[in-house]
Structure 1
Amino acid sequence: MKKTIHLPILIIISSPIFIGIITLISILYGTKDISAITVWEAITNFDKANIDHQIIRTNRIPRAIAVLLVGSFLAVAGAVMQGITRNFLASPSLMGVNDGSAFAITLAIVFLPGLPNYQMILISMLGSALGAGLVFGFGSLIRNGLSPVRLAIIGTVIGSFLSSIATAIAMYFQVSQTISAWYNTKIHTVDLNMLTLSIPFGIFGLLLAIVSARAITITSLGEDIAIGLGQKTKIIKIISMLSVVCLTGTAVALVGKIAFVGLVIPHITRFIVGVDYRNIIPCAAVFGAFFLSLCDCFSRFINYPFETPIGVVTALIGVPFFLYLIRKFGGEKRG
């Protein structure tokens, strides 16, 4: 019992060390290796004429920060979804939330060009809500549609449908190359202004998740038990889904779609720290940040000197994990 109580605190306290190490590796190594001294000089004594300084300031550092944020956002979004739905397969990538965001961004680029970055984030959030609403709406109309495996199938179908419509629109209006960045991730070209604007939206989503953590733990025990304990389940679900929409919408607007982070990390976190979401949510944020940063580093060296899309790396881990979950839990609902 002592281990369960103190381990989350230890993880949070030690997290800056591990995240700092992986971030430093991310900044130092890539297609071109840059020395630590050059990195320090680029931060403390920036020289516009120095190409290495330009690479560090405009690419490496924004990319490293974006990966940390997106990893945290998606991991927490997945944890919240799994808690409130009691569905072990719930995640932004499998429940149409990512695809809804990308679909909405496609419509915005085609029909509302030139929107400021903060409006793109808001539109991405609306798309997240649309994707989740369609998946859970169809799931509620189909017999046993809210069971984990069936809901995952519905999410995959809805996500593919939204992606296909977005691709068709992009091709018709000849913006396919622009749109492909959101569907294949654009971590290597992170927009500094978008990064700056994303932080408040993401923090708001994280705060909603943290505030709701105790209620999510109760909800994950089951609807009847939660109601019996005086839980206002509808309000909690609304607040929790708002958190998911904020986190996922911000992540997609910032770097595009990245799958499986929100599926894998919550399960690993739950295994390590237990079933209390007051521990799961902050620890998932830490593990998600570290995991995606690690994947980003691997993506640069799998086919060096060419860069492999980070989605390929997360899929190499996520797909076997997805199949393992289906085999182990079948159609069960879990907290």
Structure 2
Amino acid sequence: MTKSTTAARAEGRDLGALVPPERRYLTSGRPSGGHSRSGSRARGGPAAWLLAAVVVLALLAAASLAIGARGLPLATVWQALTQFDTANGDHAVVHARIPRTVLGLLAGGALGLAGAAMQGVARNPLADPGIMGVNAGAALAVVTGIYVFGVSSLTGYIWFAFVGAAVAAVVVYVIASLGRDGATPVKLALAGAALSAGLFSLMNIILVSSQDTLDRFRFWQVGGIAGRDWSVVLPGLPFLAVGAIIVLCTGRILNSLALGDDIARGLGHRVGLARGVTALGIVLLCGSATALAGPIGFVGLVIPHAVRFLTGPDYRWILPFSLVLAPALLLGADIIGRVVLLPGEVPAGIMTALVGAPVFVWLIRRGKGVGL
């Protein structure tokens, strides 16, 4: 046995001693015996809960097609999907609701995945799209598009919002990376908060000086999935798909980052590269979802915390659960918003805040799901 091999094994034992017993299974690829309740949950229980979550999401998607100002029975919905009749007004209503439902699934899944990954990358339990300046960058870009280029359609908003979100996230990461320690969680949070404040100030300057821009921007700023059609949904699909694939493959990396940068490096990860790749997936997901549906809050913040009650701290489970439960929350909020003030509607962005805020307060008071 060579000296280098002996040293490597000794280093591995030293690093293993630094990892708390309840977290060792996060980087081992298998639960660590009976030491951790989270380990036993990840071995059996979460699979059943994930299947149940998929069933709930399917039921909410069906309800999204049936419930609204014009309520329809599920039998009519099924008939409209399988035997569409162009002369049937109920069938036309169902088909008009399909893009809205699909957008809810896509935007909700993207926000849930991005929120979970963002909390892992930043090691900040309060991380959401705002911490990397995503919402502020997208909002300023949309305002600029309206004010300077006269953009007036949702299709035009998409590209401006996506570019603004991506540029803002990159700037935050670059600023946080300056200095000897690199992009630490605290520096990411501070850079994101500072950039968001500056971008929102610039946005307000433009809005105050142009009433026409304010009128056009107001609808998108509220956040929602109503009034969108396939011309809005389809352009975002490639970005959402690539971002989802990237983030779903980072479960083990996020587990290592949760243990601290030094231990992650000792486990063989290139921390800077790992954060950069994960941040790219987050930017694609957040930018696309914000561009398509506007800045919807609380989805990416509440869902990962709620998921940890079922999965523990293992991101290999947190990410797929967030992908399923976040659109369930968004669709549920959208459905409630359709019927709570008939014949009008409350945008989903407002309803997610009304629903998500009490849930998040309850999670904090329980004191279990908020840790990383």
TM-score (norm 1): 0.84
Comparing 294-303 with 214-223, greater Cα deviation is found at 294-303
Aligned ranges for residues 246-285 of structure 1 at < 5 Å?
A: 246-285=284-323
Q: Is the 8 A contact 1:88 1:334 kept in 2?
A: yes
Displacement of 1:10 after TM fit? 2.1
Displacement of 1:162 after TM fit? 2.7
Q: Work out which of the residue numbers 292, 301, 325 in structure 1 matches 2:330.
A: 292
Displacement of 1:234 after TM fit? 0.7
Partner of 2:8: none
Aligned ranges for residues 17-32 of structure 1 at < 5 Å?
A: 17-32=55-70
Q: Is the 8 A contact 1:191 1:254 kept in 2?
A: no
Displacement of 1:147 after TM fit? 6.6
Whether 2:128 is the aligned partner of 1:99: answer no
Partner of 2:249: 211
Q: Which amino acid aligns with 1:266?
A: P
Whether 2:163 is the aligned partner of 1:126: answer yes
Partner of 1:314: 352
Q: Is the 8 A contact 1:121 1:249 kept in 2?
A: no
* Partners of 2:276 and 2:184 in 1: CA distance: 17
Where do 5+ consecutive residues of structure 2 fail to align?
1-38
SS in 2 for 1:307: coil
Partner of 1:169: 206
Q: Work out which of the residue numbers 102, 122, 128 in structure 2 matches 1:85.
A: 122
* Partners of 2:242 and 2:305 in 1: CA distance: 23
Residue-pair matches, total:
328
Partner of 1:301: 339
C-alpha change, 1:205 and 1:119, in structure 2 (3 Å) is: farther
Give me the CA root mean square deviation.
3.3
Partner of 1:65: 102
Q: Is the 8 A contact 1:117 1:197 kept in 2?
A: no
Displacement of 1:100 after TM fit? 1.3
The higher relative CO (CA closer than 8 Å, separation ≥ 6) is in 1
Residues 55-94 of structure 1: CA distance to partner in whole angstroms, max 9, x if unpaired? 2212x11111111111110011011111011111111134
Q: Is the 8 A contact 1:84 1:219 kept in 2?
A: yes
Displacement of 1:112 after TM fit? 4.2
C-alpha change, 1:219 and 1:102, in structure 2 (3 Å) is: same
Q: Is the 8 A contact 1:126 1:245 kept in 2?
A: no
Partner of 1:159: 196
Displacement of 1:105 after TM fit? 2.7
* Partners of 1:306 and 1:175 in 2: CA distance: 24
Q: Is the 8 A contact 1:215 1:236 kept in 2?
A: yes
Displacement of 1:209 after TM fit? 0.5
Q: Which amino acid aligns with 2:137?
A: G
Partner of 1:231: 269
Comparing 115-124 with 76-85, greater Cα deviation is found at 115-124
Aligned ranges for residues 186-225 of structure 1 at < 5 Å?
A: 186-225=224-263
Displacement of 1:228 after TM fit? 1.5
Where do 5+ consecutive residues of structure 1 fail to align?
none
Q: Is the 8 A contact 1:209 1:240 kept in 2?
A: yes
Q: Which amino acid aligns with 1:85?
A: A
Q: Is the 8 A contact 1:85 1:220 kept in 2?
A: no
C-alpha change, 1:301 and 1:209, in structure 2 (3 Å) is: same
* Partners of 2:112 and 2:345 in 1: CA distance: 24
Q: Which amino acid aligns with 1:73?
A: A
* Partners of 2:110 and 2:98 in 1: CA distance: 18
Partner of 2:216: 178
Displacement of 1:293 after TM fit? 1.3
SS in 2 for 1:187: coil
Displacement of 1:235 after TM fit? 0.7
TM-score (norm 2): 0.76
Structure with bigger gyration radius: 2
* Partners of 2:94 and 2:228 in 1: CA distance: 13
